[in-house]
Structure 1
Amino acid sequence: MALTTADQLIIDRTAAFVREKFLHEGSGHDWEHIRRVWQTTRALARQTAQADELVAELGALLHDVADWKFHGGDEDAGPRAARAWLTSQQVAESVIERVETIIREVSFKGLGVATPMSTVEGELVQDADRLDAIGAIGVARAFAYGGHKGRPLHDPAVPPVQHDSFEGYKRNAGPTVNHFYEKLLHLRERLHTPAARRVAEGRQQFMEQFLEQFLSEWEGRDLSN
């Protein structure tokens, strides 16, 4: 569904609002992350005839507006914050409800937890968000978040955990390298769109090569070559 002039205005206002809120955030969930997810979502939406571009773009811009990771595990913080902003902008209730649903459903919740999206717009935002969690930027963001949380880079004595509940996943505080095996390496197989899956191939390969090099250096194997 093509955007009207009024739609573009609310998107522009929302982008400015989110940019100001997250410009100096340092955990990898900053404005540049949101901008990339927004731009990728927009590109995917324009390739998807049945997508409502307004809902998709607003969902992308607001998907991290109040992430549970930074709000005491409160899963409703994001939908509440999005509703407050969109209501202040006189956005239609039908649009607000669909954006809330995207925010509520989009997050990874553990390797053993299914995270289906109930709308095509949600699938686009989830694909865009997950693409930004893998590849070179994904590696950088993983370590930025780990440092933000005070987590060690790696600890061979702490094995990765395949969380089978969202509550267990939220309590996880393992080393950053574990995050690759608990989440990042599994995102490619959970993407919805052919375009996202194509992009993911190269990013997946980069992560695998990075981990091979990281562990080689950690264990000193490269010194014996």
Structure 2
Amino acid sequence: MDQAKQIQEIRDFSYQKMSKDKTGHNFDHIERVVKMAKRILKEEHTDPLITIGAAYLHDVADDKLVDDPAKLEREIREFLKSIELSDEQIDEILYITHNLGFSKSLSENPPKLSLAGQVVQDSDRLDAIGAIGITRAVYYGGVYHETIYDPEISPRENMSIAEYRDLSDETIINHFYEKLFKLEGMMNTPTAKRIAKDRHNFMVEFIDEFKAEWDSKR
């Protein structure tokens, strides 16, 4: 099977799995991540099948979205075998999708990604910041009934993965301090670093305006 056909098959598989998501990780998000990965690939030359394949599949087995991520990873592996990817290619794609999430950066020994993985990670992180990122943060918080803002609840620092996943005392605004404001400094590639700067600044301006309006100062 040629590479273009393999990528189309992966896209169709991703659409089947993600099109009904209601947390801000639906197929619109997937498509934006893929488009950004293609943009970064114009400057960062690495295997397009691995990069685009992982971009399409990066949320399919995400442990915050599915009850049994190991089962979904097995399903992805069998699917990729069926479209004639090698074991080596499948292992790299699954390593990327398993390890690119922000939660993995909270471990004592964060995983090291290949250049292909860094491109996908940057693309996913860029979709978490800027105007799109603000919208997704509010949307996700609403799905999980998070408080919008409480000045008495301080943003959490030095979280473990378990603490990061615990949304019981999370607020949507604190999420900017706990994760989104950190992402600009975590980009891997020069392209992503350039794009992240403007998106980060837009979020800072938004939060400043939000707090001014909250306090009726504007």
Q: Is the TM value for this pair above 0.5?
A: yes
* Matching of residue 99 in structure 1 with residue 93 in structure 2: yes
State the Cα distance separating 1:121 from its structure 2 match.
Answer: 0.6
Q: CA separation of 1:110/1:164 partners in 2, compared to 1, >3 Å: closer, same or farther? A: farther
What is the root-mean-square deviation of aligned Cα atoms in Å? 1.9
Runs of 4+ in structure 1 over 4 Å off: 110-114
Q: 2:152 aligns with which of 148, 157, 166?
A: 157
Out of 47, 56, 61, the position equivalent to 1:52 is: 47
The separation in 2 between residues aligned to 1:192 and 1:154, in whole angstroms, is: 31
Among residues 67, 73, 91, which one is paired with 1:79 in the alignment? Answer: 73
1:156 shift after superposition: 1.4
| 1:88 counterpart = 2:88 | no
Alignment of 1:190 onto 2:186: yes
- Give the drift of 1:21: 2.6
Q: For residue 160 of structure 1, what is the amino acid of its counterpart?
A: P
- For residues 1-225 of structure 1, the aligned pairs below 5 Å read 6-49=2-45, 51-72=46-67, 76=70, 79-109=73-103, 112-113=106-107, 115-173=110-168, 174-222=170-218
State the Cα deviation string for residues 134-178 of structure 1 (Å, max 9, x = none): 000000000111011111111112111114321221224401111
Contact (CA 8 Å) 1:127, 1:196: kept in 2 or not? yes
Q: Which amino acid aligns with 1:93?
A: D
CA contact (8 A) 1:107 1:115 kept: no
SS at match of 1:215: helix
Q: 1:70 to 1:112 in 2, by over 3 A?
A: closer
- Give the deviation of 1:75 after TM superposition: 5.8
Report how far residue 112 of structure 1 moved.
4.9
With over 3 angstroms needed to count, the CA separation of the structure-2 counterparts of 1:106 and 1:100, relative to structure 1, is same
Specify the code of the residue in structure 2 equivalent to 1:190. M
TM-score, normalised relative to structure 1: 0.89
Matching residue's letter, 1:99:
I
The answer as to whether partners of 1:135 and 1:206 remain within 8 angstroms in 2 is yes
Q: Which runs of 5+ in 1 are unaligned?
A: none
Q: Distance in 1 between matches of 2:203 and 2:70?
A: 32
Aligned length: 216
Whether the aligned pair in 2 keeps the contact of 1:127 and 1:191 (CA below 8 Å) is yes
Deviation at 1:198, TM superposition (A): 0.5
Structure 2 unmatched runs, 5+: none
Q: Report which stretch shifted further, 78-87 or 185-194.
A: 78-87
Question: CA offsets per residue over residues 36-68 of structure 1, 9 Å max, x none?
Answer: 11111122123223x111101111000001211
1:167 and 1:75 map into 2 onto residues whose CA distance is: 16
Q: Within 2, Cα distance between the matches of 1:17 and 1:99?
A: 14
